[in-house]
A and B are shown apart, each in its own frame.
Chain A
Amino acid sequence: MSGRLSAVATVFRRELATVVRTPGYGVLAVGLLVVLGGLLAAGGGGATGFVPAVVDLLFPTEVLVPLAGVVLGYRALLTDSASGELAVIRTYPVRIGEYVAGVVLARLAALGAAVGVPYAVVGVAVWLTAAPDTGIFATHAGVDSPLLYVRFLAFVLLLGGAYVSLAAAVSALAASRRSAIALGTLALVAGVLGGDLVLLRSLAAGASPSTVPASLALTPNGAFRGLVFEHVIGVAFAPEGGFVSTTRAVGSLVGWTLLGAVVAGTTLAYGGRVDAVVERVRGGIGE
């Protein structure tokens, strides 16, 4: 293994061990499973099939998964920088990019377990209990299928990954746990509601409805919703989708994930220098 990959793997292992040893994340997974089960039981979609289950879960997912992502990421990089351990790690042959990659990848793996497993369990439960035969693997539109749920699960993880990475950026920017919570909450609200509000505002201002698919894909939640309509719900009901451009929506979710990691790395790499420059300017003004 090359030195760079080895450094990323070493940081990844440590971060994953930290997550595994933090009981709160197990509670998060169990809580998510309970909430998802409750939503399905209340909505009744789970008893009918995968697509009705997805319809029941879609909008709660747009809140629950970002929330889980923020919980998993909001302290990811703050812990080491606040304790002073990052200063120690930086004396080792580990670049900031490698450190951030290791931490974020570990948190994404944790997302796979804490969010992916509850959703997978729900999917298995639907498969076992839904009244119509859901054992058919769809090869064409109009048929409910486990593959549709697998697609939904993949989109859920993409959405969660974007929020984990953005929350990691928040954790790099925050100076304390309290400010990390405040910034994380702000990012969560902006992500869940902000995109839709901006879209509505632009429509009210006279924007053409034909621009909606393109605009929808720009935000993580819009991209997720568009993908679910395009490739899960829409498959069962409409041969022609057109809810969102798949490439644009997937690119948006991956882009938000990369953006979070880049912002986190840049903040950690240059934060100290920026601080020194600010002090220099302050000194110059004071003279």
Chain B
Amino acid sequence: MRERPVASLSGVARTYGGVPVLDDVSLDIDPGVTAVIGPNGSGKSTLLGLLTGAVEPTTGTVEHPGATGPKPIGYLPQRVPFRDGFTARETLAFYARLVDDDPDAALDRVGLRDAGDRRVEALSGGMRRLLGIAQAVLGDPSLVVLDEPASGLDPGMRERAFHAAAECADGDTAVVVSSHALDLVDAHADRVVILRRGRVAAAGPLERLLDEHDASTVSELYRVVTGSSGAQTAVADSGAVGNTNGEGGNGDDSEPDVHVTGVSDR
């Protein structure tokens, strides 16, 4: 018998100003690393916000049957939000006190112990993201949601951020990561959800999706399913293009109008 999922979305839709950003999304999130990929404006940040409760669905339900403990969910938004004026250690200490965790151990986990006394505004973009990951895993949550943890980082830092995220995933913990870094998705993801224009275009275990779409890499799979180039989005991920307002755009209108609606992992 299959164990209950950590999180479950059923028929979820979300609109902003009447414009649909996500539509008819049904997914189960199981332990392991789930990567959410898709073009800019496809609904990735909104999906992750729905998973954490930061965004209310317009219709549908979001449940967390397998997310337990004093802090069931850990969350790193796309824009790392910590207050200026506090050091990295002080920032983590605030959150750690809320769940009786150790901020220094959290800094160690992401390799930031030496930067603990630096103010948040003095940290590089990569260090801020690592600090955000350290915050998200405080309290040992069952569901860790990281919105583009590798965005805008150099190759070494991207790998480090993804590695830190993937390390959290174990038999009981689900890590959901949105990213344009398809090479890292290839290396670390157990399952993939591909969004296109607010709908789930494909979802499931990575190996199965690769077989079904006759693709050898996630980049190929991405191209086949979305009809756009993963290489282009990887460039966007380098920091030249930022999706500053989460989601809400209409995606790339130059893409072929191919909708694969209602496809989900269930």
Contacts and interface: CB of A to CB of B under 8 A. Distances in A.
A18 B85 contact: yes
Interface residues of B, number: 38
Nearest to B85: A21
Given A79-B83, A84-B77, A91-B141, A279 B98 contact: no
Nearest to B52: A91
B216 interface: no
A7 interface: yes
Q: How large is the interface on A (under 10, 10 to 19, 20 to 34, 35 or more residues)?
A: 20 to 34
A282 B13 CA distance: 13
B70 interface: yes
A99 to B, nearest CB: 10
Interface string B106-119: 00000000000000
A17 B141 CA distance: 27
B241 interface: no
A279 B141 contact: no
A88 interface: yes
A84 B81 contact: yes
Contacts, number: 81
Given A93-B71, A93-B98, A280 B59 contact: yes
Interface in A1-29: 6-7, 10, 13-14, 17-18, 21-22
A10 B94 contact: yes
B242 interface: no
Contacts of A283: 15, 18, 58
B71 to A, nearest CB: 6
A111 to B, nearest CB: 20
B63 interface: no
A85 B15 contact: no
A286 interface: yes
A18 B72 CA distance: 28
A173 B13 CA distance: 25
A273 B56 contact: yes
Contacts of B95: 88, 92
A279 B55 CA distance: 12
Secondary structure class of chain A's binding surface, majority of residues: helix
A85 B83 contact: yes
Contact of B53 (A14, A79, A83, A91): A91
Contacts of B17: 282
B188 to A, nearest CB: 22
Contacts of A21: 85
Nearest to A92: B98
B82 A92 contact: no
Interface in A65-120: 79-80, 83-85, 87-88, 90-94
Given A7-B98, A10-B94, A85-B83, A91 B58 contact: no
B52, B83, B135, B139, most chain A CB atoms within 10 A:
B83
B235 interface: no
Interface string A228-251: 000000000000000000000000
Given A10-B94, A276-B57, A279-B58, A88 B70 contact: no
A10 B18 contact: no
Contacts of A6: 97
A272 B73 CA distance: 18
Contacts of A272: 54-56
Contacts of A79: 83
Interface string B38-57: 00000000000100111111
B81 A276 contact: no
A22 to B, nearest CB: 8
B12 to A, nearest CB: 11
5 nearest CB pairs, A to B: A87-B54, A276-B56, A85-B81, A84-B81, A83-B81
Given A84-B77, A90-B53, 10 more contacts: A18-B85, A22-B85, A85-B82, A85-B83, A88-B76, A88-B77, A88-B135, A91-B73, A91-B74, A282-B15
18 contacts: A7-B98, A10-B94, A10-B97, A14-B94, A17-B90, A80-B81, A83-B79, A84-B77, A87-B49, A87-B77, A88-B135, A91-B53, A94-B98, A272-B54, A279-B14, A279-B18, A280-B58, A282-B17
